[in-house]
Amino acid sequence: MKKVIVLGAGLVGKPMMMDLLRDKNLKVSIADRSSELIEAITNEFDVQGVVADLSNDAIVTKTIADHDYVINAVPGFMGMAVLKTILEAGKDVVDIAFSPEDLSPLNEIAVRNNATALVDFGVAPGLSHLMVSYASGIFDRLDKVRIFVGGLPKRRTKPFEYRAVFSPIDVIEEYTRPARLVEHGKTVVKEALTDIEELDFPVVGTLEAFNSDGLRSLVDSIKAEDMAEKTLRYPGHAQLMKTLREIGFFSQDKVNVNGIDIAPMDVTAKLVFPQWEMQEEDRDITIMKVYAEGPIDGIQHRFEFDLFDEFDGTTGVHSMARTTGYTATMGLRVLAAGLFKEKGVFYPEKLGTDKKILEMILEGLKERKIQIQHQLYKI
């Protein structure tokens, strides 16, 4: 029996652990620095729980030593360091830490230690990259690619009409980090929250979409004439966030207030983040649309991929955790089934042109009642 350990027992880590428990050929463990989280999990599930400071390299090495596979679900700011430690230990890993750093320098470590790392393997980046890669394999060339994705609360509450199902700091990062896009075949950089447009979706109605830095590795790995990823929110959210950003509320540069030096971001965290917390009665949805356009045998076509998911009232798992976590656990199953054996660090698009792998992941998501549709047609 193969052993897998999930590093991080938060909103996504625990659901991934729960999903992996479905596989009778896997022995599942979970680790986190919070003894309260681990105690609650081990009281409810038949898993080994480990209380561990995952910011400590030696402790990470010891924690994963007896396992065949690792899922790295630690916060982004510590993701690269933890991934490096995992690869130095020679463990195959699926990574959803979404580290801000370029992870390609870790490729040599992975190869040297005979390890495979599937990184950025969530819903977006992740599943979105798989679908763009798939599209790149069916078109003669890619003329235009768009990824629209967002996690939203069903209950709309002013002024933000937003709830964070992952770290609010990571959300602010989406609103402040410059967005890389491709225009006329060249990489360009624009401010986040720009190029706002409105789109209509079944069930939820009109949403706004704005630039965010979600293309990540696609900028370099996929050749396209025009490519962008945009975050989805309820209309008006982007302008509100732009106002706060431009005033300086997202800045880490300290200002003096009545003789006290304080970072505006600390004030924002104290005042705004509590309003973004998911309440017990809150239910979330995840929406993603990916489309690609280009010629097939000289005739222009369009490929569309749509995903819609809702909070699971039976398990209590939030939609963003479902769509992100279950993509990652299906990636883990790809490794466990021996469908991908190359050694090194790989972004999701590496797997997108493999029909067997893609079908396995999509069927796994459908089995977990995530609604997926895709079509290819002439335009």
Which CATH code is given to the segment(s) 2-122+320-368? 3.40.50.720
User: What's the number of CA atoms in the CB half-sphere (13 Å) around residue 149?
Assistant: 26
Which CATH code is given to the segment(s) 127-310? 3.30.360.10
DSSP class per residue in 291-325 = EEEEEETTEEEEEEEEEEEE-BTTTTB-HHHHHHH
Long-range contacts of 299-302 (CB under 8 A, 24+ apart): 299/378, 300/143, 300/378, 300/379, 301/139, 301/376, 301/377, 301/378, 301/379, 302/376, 302/377, 302/378, 302/379
- Residue burial 95-126, b: 16+ Cβ < 10 Å; e: rest: bbbbbeeebeebeebbeeeebbbbbbbbbbbb
Spatial distance between the Cα atoms of 154 and 286, rounded to a whole number of angstroms:
10
Give me the pLDDT at residue 221, please.
96
The pLDDT-based confidence of 171 (bands split at 50, 70, 90) is confident
Q: Give the SS3 label for residue 39.
A: helix
* All residues at 6 or more sequence positions from 239 whose CB lies less than 8 Å from its CB, including other chains: 196
The pLDDT-based confidence of 146 (bands split at 50, 70, 90) is very high
Tokens 């980046």 belong to residue: 125
Domains 2-122+320-368 and 127-310 share a fold: no
Contact 47, 30 (CB under 8 A): yes
The pLDDT-based confidence of 25 (bands split at 50, 70, 90) is very high
Check whether 302 has a pLDDT greater than 90: yes
Helices assigned H by DSSP within the chain: 13-20, 35-44, 57-64, 76-88, 107-112, 127-138, 168-176, 218-221, 237-247, 264-271, 273-276, 319-336, 355-367
Instruction: Break the chain into its structural domains and give their ranges.
Output: 2-122+320-368, 127-310
Give me the pLDDT at residue 38, please.
98
Q: pLDDT of 151-160, one tens digit each?
A: 999 999 999 9
| C-alpha to C-alpha distances, 53 to 7, 16, 33, 87, 158, nearest whole angstrom | 10, 20, 5, 18, 38
Do the strands 48-51 and 26-32 form a parallel or antiparallel pair, or are they unpaired?
parallel
Give me the pLDDT at residue 347, please.
97
Spatial distance between the Cα atoms of 343 and 108, rounded to a whole number of angstroms:
9
pLDDT average, residue stretch 257-273: 93
Contact 225, 142 (CB under 8 A): yes
Query: pTM surpassing 0.85?
Result: yes
Q: Which residue has the higher pLDDT, 170 or 134?
A: 134
- Residue burial 336-353, b: 16+ Cβ < 10 Å; e: rest: beeebeebbbbbbbbbbe
Cβ count within 10 A of residue 214: 22
Q: Give the SS3 label for residue 222.
A: coil
Give me the pLDDT at residue 355, please.
94
Check whether 166 has a pLDDT greater than 80: no
pLDDT average, residue stretch 275-298: 93
Q: pLDDT of 188-230, one tens digit each?
A: 999 999 999 999 999 899 999 999 999 999 999 999 999 999 9
